[in-house]
Amino acid sequence: MQLSSVQNNNLRHKIIKKIFTKKSWKFFFLSSFFSLLQAICYISILIILPLIQNIKSNPVFTNLSVEVNLVIFVIITLFICGLSLLFGLVGNKFSVQFSKTTFINLRNLVYTKIQDFSIVDIEKFSQSSLINRLTIDINNIASATEFLARVMMRSLLLYFGGLVGMLVLLIPSSISNINNVMIPEYWIIIVIVLISFGLLFIIFIISLFAFKSFHQTQVNLDNLNAVIQEDILGQRTVKSFNLQTSQEKKFEVKNELLRKSSTKAGYIIATVLPTIYFFLDVSLVLATWFSNSAIVSELFSIFLLMGLMIMALVMMIVGIVQINRAIPSFKRALEVLYYEPLIQFPTTSAKLNSTNSIELCNVSFRYPSKTVNSLNNVNLSINPKEVVGIIGPTGAGKSTLINLITRMYDVSSGVVKIKGVDIKQLTKHQLKSQISVCPQNVILFSGTIKSNLKFGNPNANLKAMIEATQMANIYDFINAQNDYFDHKVAQRGANLSGGQKQRLAIARTIIKPSPFLIFDDSTSALDMITERKICSELLKNKLQQTIIISSQKINAIRNTNKIIVMDNGEIVAVGKHAELLRTCKYYYDIAVVQMGQKEVDDEMNK
Ligand code: ADP
């Protein structure tokens, strides 16, 4: 994906600042600071341990007995163990907070940005790619940042700390003693076995807690994906009804739930390493206390330091793999953020005429992916309060014409005016509030019949809902449900038939109080009788709106005030049904195919 020309350093800087806020940096530095303290504690313990053995022969406080000397040093070491645990836990808490605030910022930024995308922008990226950027990519970044703050920093510190510790232990004369001790005392073996089993048990218990939280995190992630998919796949509907804000709120709630559960899981997992270190430290201190051999604890410490360095290296390798995975993901997320949407709306409102007219002057349009125009030099004027039908075969350009009126795409040349004003001069809110569209592909949102109708008009009362659903011929179905308007609608209306979905979508369009109503092939899944009933309701035009009904079927548009016949991206003829039968051969042929020769002849002879 090519980044737009507006991508410059300034923009980059602004976006990066929004992702890595002062707050998230604070968490990062605190996490690194406490990890450093923990590493210092851990290394100090390993260095002090051999000293405890020396005290048995050379007490530091000569005026006190060897036992008291030992107790003092053991207490100091245990205190450092406790500090190490505390610093580890606090450091991990900050690292989890760093990662979570960073990726929540990033995900919110990307999601909000996509809300400003037009259909053409979404097509440019592709719907599934946007979904993956919001989910998989941002999760990769989240795991990598958490790993970076929690494990990588500490591994780095422990690696070098381990190196220093080993040098401190190996340099003294004790090296000469190593050869004297070949076999450690038997009880040390028992301690090692006990520690191993004890650690396994601790990890098992922590995993049990973590499993629940990870499971919940997955469930929350799925829920979040559902909102994202519903929103992106239903962009036309979201834009038609200007639902960006309500969808953003829905998203924020699910995102917050995911943050909570993943933070909880993160906290649980973050307790594992400090707990392990704590138990290892305590066991070492006790083992050294009771051991009689100075060299045993020295070897012990050296081996532990070596193990520590190897583990730190392994962790760093794992971290590097994670970061490598996250970098392309981060780039993909930034591509969305740097992208300049193709359709820009002005921020100041234009003054609209009071007449509800639509005008298209010399409009031509070519889809970005196409080499030929889908609309050619279209001139059209729709008068206020007119109910206009558009007819033509698939691919004639009906939906394209509607997409241009609703500014899903911008014209390649020419002008589209509503209420006498070029639609490019209208703010997003102005344009969306003027027009209520029923798109060709119906998208319903999970919730209830009522909640779906409220997308059309959040203030609609029961009377308005009954009227709209009666006009759309779906009221009888709603009335037959036990829960009436609270009847559940599954995601994308999966529990309704195609016809029910279309009728509910028609009702949702009718209920929106806009001066212009547009139906884009909205009755394709309906039988002839239902279609005729709905169309005759629309023809009554009780609210004196300007209505456009586009269809491939004569049945849907035959009684409209004006019929526009389209073929191959051009307007072939304009007129009333009876007039077109006589004057437009193309329309006559469609009528014969759909109505039958006899009925057409009868109508012409009337
Ligand atoms: P109708 O609504 O009359 O069936 P359309 O307006 O959907 O016709 O299509 C008109 C022409 O534009 C067709 O050739 C179609 O292939 C093309 N077209 C429609 N939508 C797109 C799109 N998103 N990208 C590229 N071409 C498109």
Residue 422, beta-bridge partner list: 417
Residue 590 CA to residue 567 CA, distance in Å, equals 12
Starting from the edge strand earliest in sequence, which strands make up the sheet with 413-418, in order? 375-382, 358-365, 413-418, 421-422
Rg, C-alpha atoms of the chain: 36
CB of residue 397 inside a 6 A radius of ligand 1? yes
Pocket test residue of 363, 400, 409 for ligand 1, highest count of atoms within 8 A of CB: 400
Atom of ligand 1 nearest to the CA of 394: 4
The one-letter amino acid code at 546 reads T
Atom of ligand 1 nearest to the CA of 440: 2
Residue 236 CA to residue 233 CA, distance in Å, equals 8
CB of residue 394 inside a 6 A radius of ligand 1? yes
CB of residue 84 inside a 6 A radius of ligand 1? no
463-497 burial code (b ≥16 CB/10 A, e <16): ebbbbbbbbbbbbebbeeeeeebebebeebbeebe
Alpha helix ranges (H) inside 541-596: 554-557, 577-583, 585-595
For ligand 1, atom 22, the nearest C-alpha belongs to 367
Pocket test residue of 120, 123, 367 for ligand 1, highest count of atoms within 8 A of CB: 367
For ligand 1, atom 12, the nearest C-alpha belongs to 374
Residues lower than pLDDT 70 in the chain: 1-8, 166-167, 169-197, 199-200, 203, 207, 211, 214-215, 218, 222, 280, 283-284, 287-288, 290-300, 302-303, 306, 310
The vertex-404 CA angle with 342 and 411, nearest 5°, equals 60
CB of residue 396 inside a 6 A radius of ligand 1? yes
pLDDT of residue 187: 59
Q: How far is CA 472 from the centre of its chain?
A: 34
Given a contact cutoff of 8 angstroms between Cβ atoms, the answer to whether 179 and 124 are in contact is no
CB of residue 439 inside a 6 A radius of ligand 1? no
Length of the chain equals 606
573-592 burial code (b ≥16 CB/10 A, e <16): bbbebeebbeebebbeebbe
CB of residue 392 inside a 6 A radius of ligand 1? yes
**Residue 421, phi then psi, degrees to nearest 5:** -120, 140
Q: Which of 213, 283, 235, 253 is nearest to 46 (CA)?
A: 283
pLDDT of residue 358: 96
Alpha carbon distances (Å) from 262 to 23, 224, 273: 19, 13, 18
- Structure tokens belonging to residue 74: 């053991």
CB of residue 398 inside a 6 A radius of ligand 1? yes
Which helix (H) or strand (E) segment holds residue 165: the answer is helix 153-170
Atom of ligand 1 nearest to the CA of 521: 2
Residue 560 CA to residue 547 CA, distance in Å, equals 9
Residue 570, beta-bridge partner list: 567
pLDDT of residue 149: 80
CB of residue 368 inside a 6 A radius of ligand 1? no
Ligand 1 centroid–CA 394 distance in Å is: 8
Residue 521 CA to residue 112 CA, distance in Å, equals 31
Ligand 1 centroid–CA 89 distance in Å is: 59
pLDDT of residue 360: 96
Write the burial class of residue 119 (CB in 10 Å: 0-12 exposed, 13-18 middle, 19+ buried).
middle
